[in-house]
Structure 1
Amino acid sequence: MTSTPSASVKTRGSLPDRLLGGIERVGNKLPDPFMLFLILFLIVAVASTAMAWANVVVTVPGATEATVIKGFFTAEGLSWFTTTLGANYLGFPPLATVLPILLAVGVAEKSGLLSALIRKAFGSAPRWALPYAVGFVGVLGSIMSDAAFVVIPPLAALVFKAAGRHPVAGLLGGFAAAGAGYSTSMLVTSLDALFSGITTAVTETLPNPGSPVNPLSNYFFNFASSIVLILLAGFIIDKILEPRLRRQGVPTEETASEDDSVPGALPSGALPPSMSSTLTAVERRGVLWAAAAGAVVAAVILTGALLPDSPWRNEDGGYLPKSPLLSSIVFIVFIMFTVPGLVYGKITGTIASGKDVPRVMGASIKDMSGFLVLAFILGQFIALFNWSGIGNWLAVAGASGLESIGLTGYPAIIGFILLASLLNLFIISGSAMWTLMASVFVPMFALLGFEPAFIQGAFRVGDSATQILTPLNPYMIVLLTMLRKYEPQAGLGTVIARMLPFTVLFWLAWVGVLTVFFVFGLPMGPGNGIYIDG
């Protein structure tokens, strides 16, 4: 199948198409991701050195000590870099998430289990409902933490392909829903506990801290937001993203892989030529045994976690805000893909012997070899960004700028969200950014009479919507690697242009939900309103 790569397509048609096409072309003129981050590394190195020579010091409100900006081209900086080069790479956070999950998904995918499950579950499902199903899974995917960025997009692509829809729409839509809606969910997640813990720590020093903040303090707001974002994600995938992909002539088939050579295994991302939802007798038997194996594994994990003296409980005997169980998400995802995949492969013959297991795992890692190379420079950049203290300086400088404008009332809340959205392009960690921003803005807005839980809810909007636009998001590089299986010439501009509608519409809709809560004085969660009483 031949098709013109979208990176070279000159989009004609409506104004939005021309605008997105222009963004894509300009974005694709950026250097290759490796070179881009090398340039950014050098910029931060020079900037940090200049700030260090100028003796720049940042004081984060609430911190016991000031943060001194450290320079790369100093004796301390050069010593730090030469002694931590390997640790910076191996300590790059996504590696600990991506690699184990890739090994596990490789077993489930290349054994044929994922294909069989998708054909069974979605082969006869209404095609119109699939974008909304992807939106639902993506927005609620934060319960899996960062694993959502690795698991959901390729599975969504397979779902779309099984239904005869464009797989790239599923791939990109799954990533956008998981990323742009990361801070909200119908369920209480570890993120709720993490944010509330940070907020509580800040409010302890306030003379009038308002209502206590707990993991349920934003639940009503989160629930309403998640419904709106799920529906909006499905609409964007169905009415904007997929039609544009077809107008651009984006391929619906992956480029051939060199090493999908496991006996009987399907190529990466492939589905049976018939695209039929009907499984053979052997496949049905394999699915049943795989489901039974998955149920046994889940029961073992659940039983172990619920035991009164379970080692997966925290020191208080619970699971929130932190516990070994919540820190074991990668292991749980790994085991829940690997065991059923092995059982299915053994029943159907796609995994004939033990020697096939490392081969299927190796094939999945080979598909992501480009990311492993990029991870080297990404790890160095992020390590320098954090070590130098420039992230703290950006947050405090932004807060001071907003405060100097003199905004009050709800316009100040909108300014706060805009600042969070901007900082989110540079500080990807939600907990790190909230730690910095909460220490500045929770006390500031408390003086204006706003509940800390309301400010925390406003932060969630800015914390998520823009993270799918920034190359500093390491999972965007993972997505680009997956996208290049369909479009080898795709670049960062391609991804940014296709993420932009999600960011803009999610941001506007989410702010709209917050505005409704503000105007009508609705509680953000049980016992947490908009204004501090008294």
Structure 2
Amino acid sequence: MSAVDSKNEKKGLFNRFLDFIEKYGNRLPDPVMLFVYIAIIILICSAIFGALGTTAVNPGTGEEIKVVNLLNGDGLIMILTNLVKNFTSFPPLGLVLVVMLGVGLAESTGLISTVMKTTILHAPKKLILPTIVLVAILGNAAADAAMVVLPPIVAMIFIALGRHPIAGLAAAYASVAGGFSANLILSVLDPLVAGFTEIGAQIYDPSYKANPAMNYYFLAVSTLVLVPVAVFVTTKIVEPRLGKYEGETEQLEKVTPTEKKGLLWAAISVLLILGIVLALSLPEKAIFRHPETGGLTVSPLMDSLVPLMMILFLVPSIIYGKVVKTLTNSKELADHLAKAMSGMGMYIVIAFVAAQMIAYFNWSNLGPIVAIKGAETLEALGLKGVPLFIGFIIVAALINFLIASSSAKWAILAPVFVPMFMIMGYSPALTQAAYRIGDSITNPITPMLAYFAIALTFAKKYEPKIGIGTFMTSLLPYSIGFGIMWIILFAIWYLLGIPLGPEGEIFLPQ
């Protein structure tokens, strides 16, 4: 589990840096208590800066934002009366538990094992990891659900391949989270981000209209660039540091005729479900389309992705289990579902504490104030060209440690940077592309993204004593690698003057 520690082995500077992170990171408290301590620090900071009257002006609305003291009478009442609501309305809680019902049943009935034996494990070994990374990056089209579904499945694939499951889990999680803006198709995030870009641009040019696809060319190429980076980091950095896995491994035997029959019927059920979804989505007035615009990007279909993903795992698993006799009656089905949920106890505890911490941070207004102050600092530096946008990318990446939500960050930053850069002659599409890099690269390592705690919970299944330091050093190289390569790609794109997408020019027309 731990880093290779042979004293005779010469280590490079980067590996020594990771050793440092691992050593002191593992001294941090258990994640549950760490979130408790961070929550306490937030409460204390809210009291201190609230008493000092710390404020900032939202450049988009002109509204003055004040730090809210959460340790006075009103704050304490807010904390107590919203404690249960913070937990029950915590978005990742329901998402994780719902999806894991389906994934857990697929695992316990043997469906996932059979799928691996008949597909991935028979593919050329050199193509398995690149395929996994590509699927993970493309999986962000399903928004946060991919961060829940893919890591545990890829960990199982790695065990079956005789590789360390934490390496597979880290590769999947980091690829989804760190490559969150990259994709070969447009996702729900594209029009969402473009909407805030348009609002910011209209401060400078009231007639400006943002095309949701204005970064498409750049983000599609980014997808292909990030895949080899993730493969290199996994095989050359993460796996050597983790060493040989000493836990239980699963020896996959040949697929039996009964398993083949079960897999066939499970595949047929998947096709039927997909056919039904398409039938409810493709017709002009289909019920899964937006009732007013008729679109699919923002629609009931996108809002239904989580339950649909659960169904796509649940139904084939039940059919497979019936065929291979791992499910013979309703009681066994209930037992399998209970088993699927039994391993989520630690996650539920972490989710409870994390939900309170994030709520306190949002209520205090500390996040947007720090973001606005950071933007003012960057503006004061007077940079231009590539250095200017590298600075902006770094600011966005750092703010990710304070505000994980992509739309929430951009709602604050777009009214500052989009018109500011338009005054300097840069198009909103260029500013948005830079933002989306910064918004993505630190996703794997920010604790403000609740899925970090989920990934750590999955990791503890294979290494119960894994510390935050060891887990962080398995994710940090992806953030660094993605950041370096994405910035290089951005600089080349900028210097060549290639359009970022439809209506996505680098500079404003003269």
Question: What's the TM-score, normalizing by structure 1?
Answer: 0.91
Change (3 A) 1:8 1:408: closer
Residue 219 of structure 1 is matched in structure 2 by: 216
Taking the TM superposition and a 5 Å limit, the aligned residue runs for 1:93-108 are 93-108=91-106
Q: CA deviation at 1:460?
A: 1.0
Q: CA deviation at 1:70?
A: 1.2
Residue 396 of structure 1 is matched in structure 2 by: 372
Cα deviations across residues 77-109 of structure 1 (Å, max 9, x unaligned)?
Answer: 111111100001111121121010111111111
Aligned mates of 2:395, 2:121 — CA distance in 1: 44
Cα deviations across residues 431-466 of structure 1 (Å, max 9, x unaligned)?
Answer: 111111111111111111110011000011111111
Residue 6 of structure 1 is matched in structure 2 by: 2
Unmatched runs of 5 consecutive residues or more in structure 1: 255-270
Taking the TM superposition and a 5 Å limit, the aligned residue runs for 1:16-165 are 16-63=14-61, 65-165=63-163
Aligned mates of 2:434, 2:158 — CA distance in 1: 34
Aligned mates of 2:457, 2:3 — CA distance in 1: 15
Residue 268 of structure 1 is matched in structure 2 by: none
Q: CA deviation at 1:9?
A: 6.0
Cα deviations across residues 378-414 of structure 1 (Å, max 9, x unaligned)?
Answer: 0000011111111110110110111122222321111
Q: Is 2:2–2:241's contact at 8 Å kept on the other side of the alignment?
A: no
Q: CA deviation at 1:208?
A: 7.2
Aligned mates of 1:130, 1:123 — CA distance in 2: 8
Residue 243 of structure 1 is matched in structure 2 by: 240
Residue 481 of structure 2 is matched in structure 1 by: 505
Q: CA deviation at 1:240?
A: 2.1
Cα deviations across residues 246-276 of structure 1 (Å, max 9, x unaligned)?
Answer: 2xx443537xxxxxxxxxxxxxxxx4x3x23
Matched, 1:169 2:145: no
Taking the TM superposition and a 5 Å limit, the aligned residue runs for 1:297-376 are 297-319=273-295, 321-376=297-352
- RMSD over aligned CA atoms reads 1.8
Q: Is 2:179–2:223's contact at 8 Å kept on the other side of the alignment?
A: yes
Matched, 1:189 2:165: no
Aligned mates of 2:465, 2:267 — CA distance in 1: 39
SS at match of 1:355: helix
SS at match of 2:383: coil
SS at match of 2:378: helix
Change (3 A) 1:220 1:483: same
Q: Is 1:413–1:458's contact at 8 Å kept on the other side of the alignment?
A: yes
SS at match of 1:205: helix
Change (3 A) 1:229 1:196: same
Q: CA deviation at 1:167?
A: 2.6
Residue 292 of structure 1 is matched in structure 2 by: 268
Aligned mates of 1:234, 1:103 — CA distance in 2: 30
Change (3 A) 1:118 1:326: same
SS at match of 2:53: coil
Q: Is 1:7–1:28's contact at 8 Å kept on the other side of the alignment?
A: no
Aligned mates of 1:60, 1:358 — CA distance in 2: 51
Q: CA deviation at 1:480?
A: 1.1
Aligned mates of 1:410, 1:21 — CA distance in 2: 32
Aligned mates of 1:529, 1:98 — CA distance in 2: 39
Q: Is 2:215–2:429's contact at 8 Å kept on the other side of the alignment?
A: yes
Aligned mates of 2:493, 2:233 — CA distance in 1: 24
Q: CA deviation at 1:8?
A: 10
Q: Is 2:60–2:412's contact at 8 Å kept on the other side of the alignment?
A: no
Unmatched runs of 5 consecutive residues or more in structure 2: none
Letter in 2 for 1:313: R
Aligned mates of 2:275, 2:242 — CA distance in 1: 42
> Of 211, 225, 248, which residue of structure 2 is paired with 1:253?
248
Aligned mates of 1:142, 1:209 — CA distance in 2: 32
Residue 354 of structure 2 is matched in structure 1 by: 378
SS at match of 1:67: strand
SS at match of 1:58: strand
Aligned mates of 1:253, 1:221 — CA distance in 2: 43
Letter in 1 for 2:2: S
Aligned mates of 1:379, 1:393 — CA distance in 2: 21
Could you tell which deviates more after superposition, 368-377 or 468-477?
468-477
Change (3 A) 1:7 1:46: farther
Q: CA deviation at 1:7?
A: 7.6
Residue 258 of structure 1 is matched in structure 2 by: none
Q: Is 1:156–1:170's contact at 8 Å kept on the other side of the alignment?
A: yes
Q: Is 1:7–1:25's contact at 8 Å kept on the other side of the alignment?
A: no
Aligned mates of 2:358, 2:205 — CA distance in 1: 37
Letter in 2 for 1:6: S
Residue 456 of structure 1 is matched in structure 2 by: 432
Q: CA deviation at 1:320?
A: 5.1
SS at match of 1:123: helix
Change (3 A) 1:10 1:51: farther
Letter in 1 for 2:120: F
Quick one: percent identity of the two aligned structures?
Answer: 36
SS at match of 1:484: helix
Residue 412 of structure 1 is matched in structure 2 by: 388
Aligned mates of 1:252, 1:303 — CA distance in 2: 46
Aligned mates of 2:39, 2:280 — CA distance in 1: 45
Q: Is 1:193–1:320's contact at 8 Å kept on the other side of the alignment?
A: no
Letter in 1 for 2:459: L
Could you tell which deviates more after superposition, 479-488 or 17-26?
17-26
Aligned mates of 2:184, 2:366 — CA distance in 1: 35
SS at match of 1:456: helix
Letter in 2 for 1:85: L
Could you tell which deviates more after superposition, 15-24 or 500-509?
15-24
Q: Is 1:122–1:162's contact at 8 Å kept on the other side of the alignment?
A: no
> Of 483, 496, 507, which residue of structure 1 is paired with 2:472?
496
Q: CA deviation at 1:336?
A: 0.3
Aligned mates of 2:85, 2:301 — CA distance in 1: 26
Q: Is 1:180–1:467's contact at 8 Å kept on the other side of the alignment?
A: yes
Q: Is 1:209–1:452's contact at 8 Å kept on the other side of the alignment?
A: no
Q: Is 2:163–2:245's contact at 8 Å kept on the other side of the alignment?
A: no
Aligned mates of 1:334, 1:159 — CA distance in 2: 20
Q: CA deviation at 1:360?
A: 1.5
Q: CA deviation at 1:310?
A: 2.6
